[in-house]
Amino acid sequence: MAHLLVTGGAGFIGSNFVHHVVAHTDHTVTVLDKLTYAGNEASLAGLPEDRVDLVVGDIADAELVDGLFEKADAVVHYAAESHNDNSLHDPRPFLDTNIIGTYTLLEAARRHDTRLHHISTDEVYGDLELDDPARFTEHTPYNPSSPYSSTKAGSDLLVRAWVRSFGVRATISNCSNNYGPYQHVEKFIPRQITNVLRGIRPKLYGKGENVRDWIHADDHSSAVLTILDKGEIGETYLIGADGEKDNKTVVELILQLMGHSPDAYDHVTDRAGHDLRYAIDSTKLRTELGWSPTYRDFEAGLAATIDWYRANEAWWAPAKDGVEAFYASKGQ
Ligand code: NAD
Ligand code: DAU
């Protein structure tokens, strides 16, 4: 049994990980989360109080972080500003949290010699052409496009430097696009599902030809737990589930699964600098650590996600109008 500190554990993927840890281990967890617009205490509802507690605070608060590291056997670092569109509008919080916040955690890990796992994204590698047979691997050069992905790339490089220069016991994972319950309605899949539920037509950026490599959040969590248990210090692992789909296909599938005509969507203003395609080769994680995904049927996973949003309007409704007003102001 161990005590884990999970930063960003009230967000989409972090809360999924906390549920996963409670279900599959006997570890206890402290969540450190600032509860920004993206954090939601309700995503942790139902977890046993003797196993999980929530500390509301900022990962860039060195004193708070220091006290929490003192009690933790390991730290899993999810906290971030995570949305590309927001980073194009106001990059500053991305620098504060993704760069300074990660630096603050690394300094605490160094002081306390704490095992740290850093959660990152495939976006650090930039994008691929649609017909490129290559996929991202651990050896692909960093080439981020957006303020969001460049701050995530910066945070990865800080982790690597703290491993090499100070002997911090850290690992990194870079995962592809997650889907599943509890994802904020600003993101592509929940935005379109909740649009349909609200009688609004789904919105596709540009031509909709951009490709994302979808993985269910449960599979991301099982991969992170595997790396925490068996990963080699200083190593990077790519996490993906061979789920490449273009955005047009995903919107059409959502409409079809929700009983609407597959062409009942609008094309809207494209995202500035929009990455064309992400694709992950997760051979290293699968062969060296023995991980594999359990969700192999995207349509079934998407249908279950739609059911979750249908049943949990109280969770997402408070954010919906504000998000749509923001997008409308950008012509999206
Ligand atoms: P999210 O936006 O849903 O959640 C982020 C959480 O971090 C929120 O609970 C928020 O309150 C918290 N937070 C933000 N700033 C903080 C601060 N300064 N101090 C403490 N807490 C703070 O994001 P997500 O989609 O769950 O992503 C989590 C992590 O996974 C991020 O590091 C992201 O880069 C990475 N990631 C996400 C995806 C994806 O598809 N969503 C894919 C790969 C990697
Ligand atoms: O690849 C991993 C990344 O996936 C994570 O690092 C990010 O935190 C996460 O937000 C996600 O980034 P994307 O930018 O790929 O996700 P988003 O859900 O914002 O958009 C997915 C695709 O859908 C992208 O090509 C843009 C497009 N899109 C998005 C929205 C919100 C639309 O066509 N219409 C929309 O309304």
59-111 pLDDT, tens per residue? 999 999 999 999 999 999 999 999 999 999 999 999 999 999 999 999 999 99
pLDDT confidence tier of residue 210, bands split at 50, 70 and 90: very high
Beta strands in 72-132 (DSSP E): 74-77, 115-121
In angstroms, rounded to a whole number, what is the distance separating the alpha carbons of residues 35 and 103?
A: 20
Active site annotation includes 37: no
Q: What is Dmax (Cα atoms) for the chain?
A: 58
pLDDT confidence tier of residue 265, bands split at 50, 70 and 90: very high
For residue 58, pLDDT over 90 is answered with yes
Question: Nearest C-alpha to atom 15 of ligand 1 is from which residue?
Answer: 80
**Token pair of 92, please?**
């500053």
Pocket of ligand 2 (CB under 6 A): 82-84, 121-123, 176-177, 187-188, 191, 203-205, 210, 212, 247, 271, 278
Query: What's the alpha-carbon Rg for the chain, to the nearest Å?
Result: 19
3-state secondary structure of 1: coil
Predicted confidence (pLDDT) per residue in 228-256, tens digit: 999 999 999 999 999 999 999 999 999 99
C-alpha of residue 13 to centroid of ligand 1, in Å: 7
Mean pLDDT of 294-316: 98
Residues 6+ apart with CB under 8 A from 199: none
What's residue 48's pLDDT?
A: 98
Active site annotation includes 275: no
> Chain-wide mean pLDDT for the chain?
98
**Token pair of 143, please?**
């080439």
Tell me which residue has tokens 């994008």.
127
Residues 6+ apart with CB under 8 A from 20: 218, 221, 222, 225
For residue 199, pLDDT over 90 is answered with yes
pLDDT confidence tier of residue 25, bands split at 50, 70 and 90: very high
C-alpha of residue 271 to centroid of ligand 2, in Å: 10
Supply the pTM of this predicted model.
0.99
Predicted confidence (pLDDT) per residue in 108-147, tens digit: 999 999 999 999 999 999 999 999 999 999 999 999 999 9
For residue 1, pLDDT over 90 is answered with no
Beta-bridged to residue 178, according to DSSP, are 215
In angstroms, rounded to a whole number, what is the distance separating the alpha carbons of residues 164 and 121?
A: 21
pLDDT confidence tier of residue 30, bands split at 50, 70 and 90: very high
Q: Which domains does the chain show, CATH number per domain?
A: 3-178+214-239 (3.40.50.720)
Q: Which atom of ligand 1 is nearest to the CA of 43?
A: 9
Q: Which atom of ligand 1 is nearest to the CA of 187?
A: 41
3-state secondary structure of 212: strand
C-alpha distances in Å from residue 232, one per residue of 172, 173, 289:
10, 12, 9
Mean pLDDT of 271-287: 98
3-state secondary structure of 22: helix
